[in-house]
Amino acid sequence: MYLVDPPPARYRTILIQDARERHATSDVPLLLPQGMEHLATQEGAVQDALGRPWHDLRISVTDQCNFRCRYCMPKEVFGRDYAFLPHRALLSFDEIAHLVATAVPLGVRKVRLTGGEPLLRKHLEHLIATLAAQAEARAVPLDIAMTSNGSLLAAKAAAFRSAGLGRITVSLDALDERIFQQMSDADVSVATVLRGIDAALRAGFERVKVNVVVRRGWNEDQIVPMARHFLGMPVSLRFIEFMDVGQSNGWSMAHVVPGSEILERLQREFHLTSLAPATPGETARRWAYQAQGAPASTAQTEIGLINSVTQAFCGDCNRARITADGQLFTCLFAQSGVNLLPYLRGGDATAKPLGRLLRAVWSQRTDRYSEVRKDVSVKARANKAEMNYLGG
């Protein structure tokens, strides 16, 4: 990625101007390295410099959240005086729809609406309906998904479903109220989140994913109770290793509960059967689990481990992220993104070849932070963008 200015400490204010724009001409505004000029005019699905296709686009619709999860937006950093993006800086639904329409011909088949807490953005069902209609009009299968903390989901699940949302993931780190409160640092109960999950199932989502971030010393004792609670339900649990995203969550390797340990804890309690990957680039290693000694015919529930720290999966990584103010990041751990605003907003934006920019950015992508984490310099660790800004 070209980086002209040193990355600023706060991400929202910035324009990460990249060399492609600086050297722009009106027609082909991208300055591609010698020998790669052909990339700007190619058509069809795009691959990055390591041969990875682009399949997944995560869209942060707001950087704000009604939770202050200690591993994501600790109150000490994201306090009352924290300057979130002003509303006018957020991409409009039309701008997001234009971006998605441009990304689909490059191979994107899945969009995930996230944040911050996406349900803080009003009328999100309108965006979902637009994306679904756009995909239908072009006869392109587009998987529209969302990740939410579940606190406001009960009232919206049916509207999202009928607008065309295909999948919903709800984050819930503990069933124990005290542990949940300590981790989420918000005035929302476990029961409220569980009601959100129930509402989603009643609204017709066949299966709800439940994300559990496991952080040493906080909630590893919740792994088995959570698996027990959801056993037999159309819920897929995802245990996620605590990651070193951003600068604020005080991450250390000592806080990571390795997926191997999570697996051992589950195996002591349940009978697990390994499942093959359902999709290319899948981040979770999946198992079906059932009570020990239960007949094989007993309904099984799915569990997945996202071992992003101890077993990096950069080799298959097909995800890009767009921040709420229109910066494109090709890695969760990147320090900078590419500013898409000039291609999405303003008088002559529609004349600018957004598709070519996206193709060039993805074609040059070499990110593999998790694979090289140990060797990453202190400088490269500094100023990583925060998760609420990037979109998880």
> What residue 62 binds from ligand SF4, ligand SAM, none (CB within 5 to 8 A, per partner kind)?
none
Q: Which of 54, 242, 333, 343 binds ligand SF4 (CB under 6 A)?
A: 333
CA distances from 50 to 74, 317, 367 (A): 35, 10, 9
> Pick from 195, 137, 132: which is nearest to 161 by CA?
132
In angstroms, rounded to a whole number, what is the distance separating the alpha carbons of residues 392 and 389? 9
Alpha helices in the chain (DSSP H): 19-22, 93-103, 124-137, 157-163, 177-184, 190-202, 223-230, 259-269, 341-344, 354-363, 369-372, 378-381, 387-390
d(CA 334, CA 348): 29
Residue 249 binding result from ligand SAM, ligand SF4, none, given CB thresholds of 5 to 8 Å by partner type = ligand SAM
54 binds, among ligand SAM, ligand SF4, none (CB under 5 to 8 A by kind): none
Residue 331 interacting entry, from ligand SAM, ligand SF4, none, C-beta within 5 to 8 Å by type? ligand SF4
Separation of alpha carbons 116 and 250, rounded Å: 19
Rounded to whole angstroms, how far apart are CA atoms 92 and 181? 33
Q: Is 65 in the site for ligand SF4 (CB under 6 A)?
A: yes
Kindly tell me which residue out of 53, 116, 246, 326 binds ligand SF4, with binding defined by CB under 6 A: 116
Q: Which of ligand SAM, ligand SF4, none interacts with 336 (beta carbon under 5 to 8 A by kind)?
A: none
Which whole-number Å values give the CA distances from 148 to 12, 44, 68, in the listed order?
22, 32, 13
Query: Is 230 a binder of ligand SF4 (CB under 6 A)?
Result: no
Look up tokens 């807490």; give the residue: 117
Q: How many residues does the chain have?
A: 392
Residue 211 interacting entry, from ligand SF4, ligand SAM, none, C-beta within 5 to 8 Å by type: ligand SAM
Positive or negative, the CA dihedral 296, 301, 306, 310 is negative
Per rule CB under 6 A, is residue 388 in the interface with ligand SF4? yes
Nearest to 363 by CA among 109, 52, 108, 57: 52
Instruction: Figure out which of the listed residues 19, 24, 179, 314 binds ligand SF4, where binding follows CB under 6 A.
Output: 314
Residue 270 interaction partner, one of ligand SAM, ligand SF4, none, beta carbon < 5-8 Å per kind: none
Tell me: does residue 73 bind ligand SF4 (CB under 6 A).
Answer: yes
Give yes or no for a contact between 177 and 156, defined as CB atoms under 8 angstroms apart. no
Contact in structure between 183 and 71 (CB atoms under 8 Å): yes
Beta carbons within 10 angstroms of residue 287's beta carbon: 21
**Smallest gap from residue 361 Cβ to ligand SAM (A):** 22
**Cβ-proximal residue to ligand SAM, closest one:** 392
Interface residues for ligand SF4 in 362-381 (CB under 6 A)? Answer: 367-370
- 244 touching ligand SF4, by CB under 6 A: no
**Which of ligand SAM, ligand SF4, none has residue 148 at its interface (CB below 5 to 8 Å by kind)?**
ligand SAM
- Under the binding rule (CB under 6 A), the answer on residue 90 touching ligand SF4 is no
309 touches ligand SF4 (CB under 6 A): no
Q: In terms of Cα–Cα distance, which of 111, 31, 117 is closest to 322?
A: 111
Residue 252 tokens read as 């250390």
- By CB under 6 A, name the binding residues for ligand SAM: 65, 71-72, 114-115, 117, 147-149, 171, 211, 213, 240, 242-243, 245, 249, 387-388, 392
Interaction with ligand SF4 in 133-152: which residues (CB under 6 A)? 149
The residue from 1, 31, 72, 256 that contacts ligand SF4 (CB under 6 A) is: 72
CB of 224 to ligand SAM, least distance (A): 19
**Residue selected from 100, 128, 331, 358 as contacting ligand SF4 according to rule CB under 6 A:** 331
Q: In what order do the strands lie in the sheet with 208-214?
A: 270-275, 285-291, 301-306, 235-241, 208-214, 167-171, 143-148, 110-114, 56-60, 319-322, 327-329, 338-339
Whole-number minimum distance, CB 4 to ligand SAM, in Å?
A: 28
Binding site for ligand SF4 (CB under 6 A): 65, 67-69, 72-73, 115-117, 149, 171, 313-314, 317, 319, 331-333, 367-370, 387-388
